[in-house]
């Protein structure tokens, strides 16, 4: 799974978990959350994804900021945390999640090598704007694509088609990077070339598709592309 990726014109990145560390929000509230920071992050994320899939199946789209708040409310309730100020703080922090350390360098190298770069995310435009304005991200992305334009969440094929249509390249000319296995498999089944950034060493999925490469961090993809 580590051959050089040829014929690629655009590098498209998932946002949450791939470029930006969603665990960083609760981690920055460890003063208040203590040992619950880890469980809160896990349940918040699980519910956020579950709500995105269920609402998409029912054709009841709402922007990802509402999904994110709904999921946080569930997670806080489930963990017995009743703290409106903490809720506000966590949702604010979700707008300034930390990039993973290798991200600025990877984007810079890919742009310098002539690739078009983009984000393709469940996040609404209002959530993505402050994330991509951060130093090291700003100026290194040619496009920020939100599912809000097609009003359905990943893994609906309309989402991956949005990248093709917006970037004006064919599916096979896109290298899509995701740390979320379900997203990586679905993008591959759609027809994108896929790098699975398997940060937490999860097992492979038993779903349609198959990533072209599996790596631990994004910088490990540079020898495949640059």
198 near a second copy, judged by CB under 8 A: no
Q: What residues between 28 and 57 interact with a second copy by CB under 8 A?
A: 50-51, 53-57
Residues 12, 100, 167, CA angle at the centre, nearest 5°? 10
Please identify, using beta-carbon distances, which residue of 77 and 216 lies nearer to a second copy.
Answer: 77
The footprint of a second copy on this chain (CB under 8 A) covers a number of residues equal to 29
Among 12, 15, 40, 71, binds a second copy (CB under 8 A): 71
* Contact range with a second copy by CB under 8 A, out of 6-14, 26-34, 135-143, 201-209: 201-209
* 208 is an interface residue for a second copy by CB under 8 A: yes
Residue 110 CA to residue 116 CA, distance in Å, equals: 8
Q: Choose, by CB under 8 A, the member of 28, 63, 65, 74 that binds a second copy.
A: 74
Query: What is the three-class DSSP state of 197?
Result: strand
Strand 174-178 relative to strand 193-197, pairing: parallel
CA distance 164 to 65: 25
136 neighbors 88 (Cβ within 8 angstroms): no
35 catalytic? Reply is no
Kindly state the DSSP code that residue 20 receives in the 8-state scheme. Answer: B
Is-contact 172 191, C-beta < 8 A? yes
Binding residues vs a second copy (CB under 8 A)? 50-51, 53-60, 70-71, 73-74, 77-78, 153, 155-157, 182, 186, 189, 202-203, 205-208
Catalytic residues: 14
């Amino acid at each position: 799974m580590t051959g050089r990726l040829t014929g690629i014109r655009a590098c498209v990145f998932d946002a949450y978990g791939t470029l930006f560390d969603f665990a960083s929000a609760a981690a920055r509230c460890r003063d208040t959350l203590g040992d619950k920071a880890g469980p809160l992050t896990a349940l918040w994320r699980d519910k956020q994804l579950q709500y995105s899939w269920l609402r998409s199946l029912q054709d009841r789209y709402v922007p990802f900021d509402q999904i994110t708040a709904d999921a946080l409310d569930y997670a806080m309730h489930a963990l017995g945390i009743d703290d409106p100020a903490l809720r506000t703080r966590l949702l604010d922090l979700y707008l300034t999640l930390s990039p993973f350390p290798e991200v600025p360098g990877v984007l810079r190298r890919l742009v310098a090598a002539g690739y078009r770069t983009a984000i393709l995310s469940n996040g609404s435009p209002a959530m993505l704007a402050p994330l991509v304005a951060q130093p090291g991200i700003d100026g290194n992305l040619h496009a920020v694509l939100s599912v809000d334009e097609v009003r359905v969440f990943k893994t609906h094929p309309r989402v991956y088609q949005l990248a093709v249509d917006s970037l004006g390249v064919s599916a096979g000319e896109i290298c899509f990077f995701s740390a979320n296995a379900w997203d990586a498999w679905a993008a591959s089944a759609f027809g994108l070339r896929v790098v699975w950034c398997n940060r937490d060493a999860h097992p492979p999925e038993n779903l349609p598709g198959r990533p072209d490469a599996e790596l631990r961090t994004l910088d490990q993809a540079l020898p495949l592309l640059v």
